[in-house]
Structure 1
Amino acid sequence: MLNRETSGITLPGTAQGARTDPATRFGAPLDPRNNSLNFIRLILALMVLFAHSFFIVGAGTGPGFKGENLGGWAVAGFFGISGYLITGSRFNNRLGTFLVHRIARIVPAFLVCLVAMAAIFAPIAYYIQHSSLHGFFQTPTTPANSIFANMFLKISTYDIAGTPAGVPYPGAWNGSLWTLYFEFLCYLLVAFLGTFAIVKKTPWPMVAAFILSVLVWANLQKIDPYIQNNLDFNLLARLVPFFLGGAVVKVFSKRIGLSWQGAAVAAVLAAASILGLEGFGNQLAAPFLAYVLLWISTWLPSPKLVLKNDVSYGAYIYAFPVQQLLAVFGAYHWGVWWFTLAALLATMPLAIASWLLVEQPIMRSVRRRS
């Protein structure tokens, strides 16, 4: 979903007595041109697709662990990787350039998806439901309103013209898009933190921000009465630690590189936190989970096409409406596994089209101008 950016490290001399760079001793830095992050993010997007299949076919919430289903853990992985990459982007760009890049990366494809749902997916479902398109443009949630109401990333309407209906999970065309609003809020948080020179000079302010975010989540029940149990605040408090966990890994990346020894330690610490701490252990484990994913990206083979083409964002935003349209045609009767396979085959062409026709051209244009 995001650009691959990292900081290079100059290797010191090898003469006897020469000072050894910590990143050399503890692992290599992430190579921005030789990693499988695109592939990992695609896998995470398909994990979300699989998790949503259970809801959409009416088979419950699917597999889960420690309060999160498979999709929730995939989103946590997304946010951790994003935290690492976006922090690097902020440190390497001025505020204006950073914001333009982030908007260009996330918003245009999002808007095209909104239009596609209103102009293609919803009319098909409405016609199947009513045997005509009569009244389609005068429903309580009109197609135009569904676009306008959601165009600033915060999803306020999930149905379009009363569709989808007659399915196990009615009234929602896209149950994935809600996370984008909170991801962009995380971008703004890092944009703000990056305005302070000390945040770039030492890792401890970012560590403090991460610890504060975990404390907020751990004490949410005490905070809720003061914010009237605001759902947006609750969701943000749940996701920010995962994002800042990736940011913590980034600010330490010049001191501690990626290695199998580090990944083993991180995995143990993540397991101890998740299994041993109720309520906030998942969030506290965020830096360790992000480190493990980043380390995996240094050795996991990636298909060459995916290495150069990041179709994960398109897969993420189009999977749910594709699944719902399949459900409208009755495919939910096929069961989770066959339904997931059909959704995967139908989603990937849209994801590829989104990358080739919208995301990549716009990002190239923006970079050229910046």
Structure 2
Amino acid sequence: MVTAPTSSRAFPHSRNSLNLFRLILAAAVLFAHAFYITGNGTGPMLHGENLGGWAVAGFFVLSGFLITGSRLRHGTGEFLVHRIARIYPAFLVCLVVTAFVFAPVAGLIERGELGGFFTTPVTPLEYIWANIGLQINSYNISWTLGTVPYPGAWNGSLWTLYYEFFCYIIVWTLGFLAIFRKTVWFPIALWVVSVGIHATMGFWGRLGLDASFGLLFKLLPFFLGGVVAYVVFDRWGMRTWVGIASLIAAAVPIILVPGFGGQLAAPLLAYGLLWLSTVVRQPRLIATHDVSYGFYIYAWPTAQLLVLVGAAGLGIWGFMAVNVLATLVFAAASWFLVERPVMRVTRRGRAVPVARSGAPVSESST
């Protein structure tokens, strides 16, 4: 199903398929991680990056676009409250559920009892405390996950959230600058600098900067690519032929330039994906309920439990299918019980926009 876009128009914030696109990207991360978790190698790779890494790049370009719009629409305090409400409560609940539900169940499956579970480092409480600041410092919980192909790692997806929130803070800071609000060239210059730093990471590493610096500047160019797309759309609107050309042009550096081709293509990738989100329609259910975040944060621990109960015996594709269904249960619970209620409290008094089709715009993008 497609719509017939006009040759030039503003980005339709209330009529797009970004919820669907984010869910697809989260599913791509699940797909990539399934190979590691079941002991079936790395899966498809491009320039040393698996499909999950490229999906994360897609997340960051879309996030850069949406977060810039949020920063320019809201006051400084309101923006921070909304961003914390969107990312942190569900993250914290995921830590607690992993430590006190997933891990004990795994322990019972592996040993039939929980002797020493609550006292063997890293204890469940130590796991929560080590990771409570979004930066993931501990992946294991007690002695669990010692019998799986990817041992000791309860959630290999959460590490990106620290860097995503760091990008939020960068945009929040930039929002104080008149030059950021008034010219497209300043965001473009920031993106160019970020790509340059990533491309010369060997030099920065020799200066003693740690791995966190490298990971930030691996992801920041994608986020700033989304920022550039926002200011371009804001000033010149969206054109169909530019969207098509952007997708084609983005593929060139991604395929041909190892090391930093994705970062070099980020604004083109952002423009192309955003244009595509106005062409492809999403089901009304997905438009109303954005379960992509919950899907992303629960896919890995769900997969580890499925391995313990023998689901890897279904083959890689059968395992992925079961993992998708199981993860959707936790993602829906996260949305209905945590994410949506928290966002409604923080946005109380603000009307939820309604699309022309009658479906409310997902609260996750406001």
| 1:319 aligned residue | 299
Q: Which amino acid aligns with 1:320?
A: W
Listed as ranges, the gaps of 5+ residues in structure 1 are 1-23
Q: In structure 2, the residue corresponding to 1:186 is in which secondary structure?
A: helix
Give distance in 2, aligned partners of 1:58 and 1:165.
14
Deviation at 1:309, TM superposition (A): 0.7
| 2:283 aligned residue | 303
**Within-5 A mapping of 1:117-196:** 117-196=98-177
What RMSD over aligned residues (CA atoms) do the two structures have, in Å? 1.5
TM norm structure 1: 0.91
Q: Which amino acid aligns with 1:364?
A: R
Q: Which amino acid aligns with 1:87?
A: T
Give distance in 1, aligned partners of 2:156 and 2:82.
25
Kindly indicate whether residue 69 of structure 2 is the aligned counterpart of residue 57 of structure 1. no
| 2:226 aligned residue | 246
Superposed CA deviations along residues 41-69 of structure 1, whole A, max 9, x for unmatched, are 00100110111100011111101223321
CA pair 301-25 structure 1, distance change in 2 beyond 3 A:
closer
| Aligned 8 A contact 1:108 1:358 in 2 | yes
**Within-5 A mapping of 1:88-99:** 88-99=69-80
| 2:322 aligned residue | 342
- Between the aligned residues of both structures, percent identity stands at 52
Superposed CA deviations along residues 248-281 of structure 1, whole A, max 9, x for unmatched, are 0001112232332011221232122223433221
Kindly indicate whether residue 85 of structure 2 is the aligned counterpart of residue 79 of structure 1. no
Q: Which amino acid aligns with 1:105?
A: R
Give distance in 2, aligned partners of 1:232 and 1:357.
32
Superposed CA deviations along residues 114-144 of structure 1, whole A, max 9, x for unmatched, are 0100111000111222221121110110001
| 1:351 aligned residue | 331
Give distance in 2, aligned partners of 1:330 and 1:169.
14
| Aligned 8 A contact 1:122 1:163 in 2 | yes
The alignment of Structure 1 onto Structure 2 pairs a total of residues equal to: 346
Give distance in 2, aligned partners of 1:197 and 1:149.
38
Q: Which amino acid aligns with 1:263?
A: G
| 1:218 aligned residue | 199
| Aligned 8 A contact 2:7 2:240 in 1 | no
Give distance in 2, aligned partners of 1:260 and 1:87.
22
Q: In structure 2, the residue corresponding to 1:302 is in which secondary structure?
A: coil
CA pair 227-95 structure 1, distance change in 2 beyond 3 A:
farther
Q: Which amino acid aligns with 1:243?
A: F
Q: Which amino acid aligns with 1:303?
A: P
Give distance in 2, aligned partners of 1:77 and 1:103.
21
Deviation at 1:331, TM superposition (A): 1.8
